[in-house]
Amino acid sequence: MGPDFEQFFRQIPAFPIVLLCGSGILLMFSIFFIIRARIIKAQDQTILPGTMPAASSSYNYNPPSSFASTSDLPDLDLLVDMPSPTPPSPATPPARPPRKGTYTLRLEDG
């Protein structure tokens, strides 16, 4: 490295470099503490009665028996065993009443 390279770096002011590096380090610390706080908050949350458990806990959720007896959900076996309705036959559309200023065209070729 020659004297030209050293003179080039001496011309760069130190304040913008220190400011840029300091703000980057401050950003990394902020992100670290935000993530850490969210992890601690997620671990401290308790499951309230009547709510679903957190995603990290077991998926074996057994609803209370009162919920199962008072549900308004239809019986799926009855829905599956129902025969499918026949599609309605294509009927001619009802004739529209003529409007003032309109004309009816009748084609000879169909």
Q: How far apart are CA 9 and CA 52, in angstroms?
A: 60
The dihedral through the CA atoms of 38, 42, 43, 44 has a sign that is: positive
Per-residue model confidence as pLDDT tens digits over 64-78 = 555 555 567 777 777
Q: Are 90 and 84 in contact (CB under 8 A)?
A: no
Range picked from 38-42, 78-82, 98-102 for highest mean pLDDT? 38-42
Q: In whole angstroms, how large is the CA radius of gyration of the chain?
A: 38
Q: Are 62 and 53 in contact (CB under 8 A)?
A: no
Residues 6+ apart with CB under 8 A from 57: 47
Residue 49 has pLDDT above 60, yes or no: no
